[in-house]
Structure 1
Amino acid sequence: MREFKVAVVGAGPAGVYVSDILLRQIQARREELGLGSDATAHIDLFEKLPVPFGLVRYGVAPDHPAIKYIIGALEKTLNNPQIRLMADVEFGRDITLDDVKLRYDAVIFATGAVDDRPLTIPGSDAKNVFGAARFVEWYDGYPTVSPQWRLDAKSVAVIGGGNVAMDVSRLLVRYPDDLLHTDIPDNVYDGLAANSAEDVHVFVRRDVTHAKFSVQELRELEALSRVQLITFADDFSADVLTKEHMAKAGKDKLTRQMVDELLMVRDMSVKMSNGTDFEGNPAQRKFFLHFNANPVALLKSRDGSVIAVKVERTVTDPDGTMRGTGKYEEIPVQAVYHAIGYKPAQIPGIPYDEERYTLDNLGGRITGERFVYATGWAKRGPVGLIGSTKSDALETVENLLTDWAASSSRGRIAPYPDNDIAQLLADRGVQPLDYAAWQRVDAYERELGAKTNREHIKVIDEEQLRTIARGE
């Protein structure tokens, strides 16, 4: 019997992981499921950008080089001859759902998230109010984003209690020379060098035990040069860190580790109260960490620019329920970044769940479609760490294999499996970029970095990426 043909849309971690897991599971379970004793698969992995790796390349802060080592593992998967990378091919523009359903036995969407959830408090339409997604794309060199970003605000607010909020706020107090060991693009270096920020305020609506920071994020916060950490005694009082709160936090290992690290941040901030950084050097910037602080409105000047954040003091119950106290404070700022969650992209022809911000699915099975699936953020929403996509992929693959086994054709359901989509794309004037094309980009970026004793420097221009990828 012929090999299975599978289309995976999205070549970020979720797409690469699900491809790898699917190939492994077919080999391990093909006889058990009656798929054929020699069943194998070919996967076409589509990516709308000229280069793969999605979130790892374009969603991880540049001062997270350890996380970016994940690219090495992902590359090993892409180098598998059973997987064909087809980058610079956009679903909905270059190919459609009908195109792939005719040629593949299954379609898996691993499309990630590209937009911010909207900030809905009064004044959110003020000038100099930004969604975190756009700023992240700027400092990560996303190919379609303007290379310029004005950083002229002296006092900045960041709204959010998760890792994206911490990334954004940390980059706003970073000095670019401290990032020369990373892949920071030259335009981002120049932008950060011109940064006017003196005070950055991070507002977390709930208490210390209900924040969503990772331990690694907090450890990086603790090692910021020339930055004073400022916390508030009330946020770490016995009334907040009650036995009930700590017991609830202690039930989850990661949460308890995060709380312990926040207590360390508190201790460090007390030692920095004389205006120094973590090494005792004079601090030039201040990083304020506010808990139980719910921004309820943004105040505007006559010209519509944001001038302050109105914050209500809250109380958080052990179960995470948050209540306002009616006590308000206004903190002057000239810019606001909100990191309150991403919104995974909608896909032409695929139902969308507006409440969960996911493709409409159950266990990865897309509602109303046969042999069409989702994994990663497209499946569960924009929560969890990069490694969480592996458990998503396992469930999606399990359901896919079960559906194949239950079908009368044992999974060979594509009407025209021999019609290579590469020919269709060629007829439409689309030239996909393969794994060898990515290797050319990677080699070029490393060569660029070597000229200034850096590991590599990221190319940000979309057309330049294409030219390099094609060896032109």
Structure 2
Amino acid sequence: MRDFKVAVIGAGPAGVYVSDILLRQIEAKRDALGLGENATAYIDLFEKLPVPFGLVRYGVAPDHPAIKYIIGALEKTLNNPQIRLLADVEFGRDIYLDDIRARYDAVIFATGAIDDRPLTIPGSDAKDVYGAAKFVEWYDGYPTASPHWPLEARTVAVLGGGNVAMDVSRLLARYPQDLLHTDIPNNVYDGLEANKAEDIHVFVRRDVTHAKFSVQELRELETLPGVEIVTYDDDFAPETLTQEHLAQASEDKLTRQMVDELLAVREMSVKMMAEHVDFEGNPARRRFYLHFNANPVEIITSDDGHVQAVRIEKTTTTPQGAMSGTGEFSDIPVQAVYHAIGYKPAEVAGIPYDEAAYTLDNQGGRIAGMPFVYVTGWAKRGPVGLIGSTKSDALETVENILEDWAHSAEHGRVATQTELDIVQLLEERGVKPLDYAAWQKVDAYERAMGARVEREHIKVIDENQLRSIARGE
């Protein structure tokens, strides 16, 4: 019997992990599943951008270089001869579901999430209100992002209590010279150099024990040069942060670690506020305000539509996380608002979408009503969890794929045109895919550019330049 042919749409961590795990699980379970002793799979990994790695390359803040080392592990997977990278090929534009299902025994969508969930409070459509996703695209050099970002506001509000909110606010507070050890694009360095922000306010709707920051994010906050951290007595008072809240938080190890780190931030900030200094005792030129139990309910604008303030309602939070408003409001003057309230996985042409869950409609990775069509990553479970969570997520999808293959009449070999190479079809449509060797050319170029100025590498942001480098032009 012939080998399996699999298409994976999206070459970010989710797509690469699911490809690697599928090959490994076939090797480990072929006998138990009755797939035959020679059963294996060949995977075509499609990516709409000219380069792979999605979230790791274009969704991780540049001052998180340790996370970007994940690219090294992903590259080892892409170097597998059973996996073929086909970058610069967009599903729904260059290829379609019928093209793929005719040529592949299974298709797995790993399309991630690049859109913001909508902010629905009054004033959210005002000028100077930005979704975090677009700002992240700018500072990470996403190929279709604008090369310029307006950083004129001196006082900025960031709405959200998770890691993206922390990334956005930290980048607004950072001085660009502290990022020269990273892959920050040159245009982003220049933009941050001109940043006029002096006060960054982060508003978290619930209490300290129900924030969603990681410990690593908080530790990076603690070491921001030239930045004073401002906290508020009420947020850490015994009547707000009760023993019941702390006991509930202690039931989850990661939550307790996060709370302990926030308490360390509070202790540091008391000294900082007394002396107006940063973590090293140097004069602070910027201030980073952490507000808890603070629910943004309205963005107040001027007659010409610009942001003037954020209206905040003070809230209370039970130890179990139930939030309620107190009816006590205050207006915080700001000139720009960034909302980081979650990502929304994009809809995919021809694939059912669950509007309530913000995912492709699926059960355990199986797309509803579509045999041998699957999903993994954020498009499957929603934009929650860290990059490492994608591995366990992919394993569930792979287990269901193998089960379906083992119980199908053809043992999963269902494609009717496997002898036809998708590359030939793409060429007929004027599409020239970029392979793993093309990515290696881009990587070598970026590292060479960095070496000229004693940096590890400098990211190329123009998509046409990426294509030119990848093709050796």
Q: TM-score range by the shorter chain?
A: over 0.9
Partner of 1:106: 106
Q: Distance in 1 between matches of 2:150 and 2:329?
A: 30
Partner of 1:354: 355
Partner of 1:62: 62
Partner of 2:21: 21
Aligned-residue offset at 1:33: 0.2
How far does the alpha carbon of each residue in 1:421-443 deviate from its partner, in whole angstroms, 9 at most, with x for none?
Answer: 01100110100000000000000
Aligned pair count? 472
Q: Distance in 1 between matches of 2:380 and 2:41?
A: 23
Partner of 2:284: 283
Partner of 1:429: 430
> Map of 1:117-266 to 2, 5 A cutoff?
117-266=117-266
1:49 partner SS: coil
Q: Distance in 2 between matches of 1:240 and 1:356?
A: 32
Q: Distance in 1 between matches of 2:431 and 2:373?
A: 24
Partner of 1:331: 332
How far does the alpha carbon of each residue in 1:65-118 deviate from its partner, in whole angstroms, 9 at most, with x for none?
Answer: 000000000000000000000000000000001000000010000000011000
Partner of 2:393: 392
Partner of 1:300: 301
Q: Distance in 1 between matches of 2:452 and 2:186?
A: 13
How far does the alpha carbon of each residue in 1:392-422 deviate from its partner, in whole angstroms, 9 at most, with x for none?
Answer: 1000000010000010111111111111101
Q: Distance in 2 between matches of 1:139 and 1:290?
A: 25
Is 1:312 aligned to residue 313 of structure 2? yes
Partner of 1:413: 414
Is 1:453 aligned to residue 458 of structure 2? no
1:113 partner SS: coil
2:114 partner SS: strand
The residue type paired with residue 102 of structure 2 is: L
Q: Distance in 1 between matches of 2:17 and 2:240?
A: 40
Aligned-residue offset at 1:240: 2.1
Aligned-residue offset at 1:244: 1.6
Partner of 1:271: 271
Q: Distance in 2 between matches of 1:317 and 1:293?
A: 14
How far does the alpha carbon of each residue in 1:214-234 deviate from its partner, in whole angstroms, 9 at most, with x for none?
Answer: 000000000000000000011
The residue type paired with residue 429 of structure 1 is: G
Q: Distance in 1 between matches of 2:398 and 2:433?
A: 26
The residue type paired with residue 37 of structure 2 is: S
How far does the alpha carbon of each residue in 1:264-285 deviate from its partner, in whole angstroms, 9 at most, with x for none?
Answer: 0000000101100000000000
Partner of 1:363: 364
The residue type paired with residue 460 of structure 2 is: V
The residue type paired with residue 34 of structure 1 is: G
Partner of 1:80: 80
How far does the alpha carbon of each residue in 1:339-376 deviate from its partner, in whole angstroms, 9 at most, with x for none?
Answer: 00000011000000011100000000001100000000
The residue type paired with residue 189 of structure 2 is: Y
The residue type paired with residue 471 of structure 2 is: R
Partner of 1:39: 39
Q: Distance in 2 between matches of 1:249 and 1:375?
A: 30
Q: Distance in 1 between matches of 2:337 and 2:353?
A: 29
Q: Distance in 2 between matches of 1:279 and 1:41?
A: 55
Q: Distance in 1 between matches of 2:435 and 2:326?
A: 57
Q: Distance in 2 between matches of 1:450 and 1:339?
A: 35
Q: Distance in 1 between matches of 2:322 and 2:404?
A: 40
For structure 1, list consecutive stretches of 5 or more residues without a partner in the other structure: none
Aligned-residue offset at 1:245: 1.1
Aligned-residue offset at 1:150: 1.1
TM-score for both structures, normalised by structure 2 = 0.99
1:229 partner SS: strand
1:272 partner SS: helix
Q: Distance in 2 between matches of 1:104 and 1:455?
A: 39
How far does the alpha carbon of each residue in 1:235-292 deviate from its partner, in whole angstroms, 9 at most, with x for none?
Answer: 0111122222111111111111000000000000001011000000000000000000
How far does the alpha carbon of each residue in 1:302-345 deviate from its partner, in whole angstroms, 9 at most, with x for none?
Answer: 10001000000000011111000011110000000000000001
Partner of 1:91: 91
> Percent of counterpart pairs with the same letter?
77
Q: Distance in 1 between matches of 2:160 and 2:293?
A: 11
Q: Distance in 2 between matches of 1:389 and 1:126?
A: 36
Q: Distance in 1 between matches of 2:186 and 2:101?
A: 42
The residue type paired with residue 373 of structure 1 is: Y
Q: Distance in 1 between matches of 2:200 and 2:414?
A: 55
Give the root-mean-square deviation of aligned CA atoms: 0.5
Q: Distance in 2 between matches of 1:392 and 1:413?
A: 25
Q: Distance in 1 between matches of 2:251 and 2:25?
A: 33
For structure 2, list consecutive stretches of 5 or more residues without a partner in the other structure: none
Q: Distance in 2 between matches of 1:405 and 1:238?
A: 58
2:32 partner SS: coil
Partner of 1:470: 471
TM-score for both structures, normalised by structure 1 = 1.00
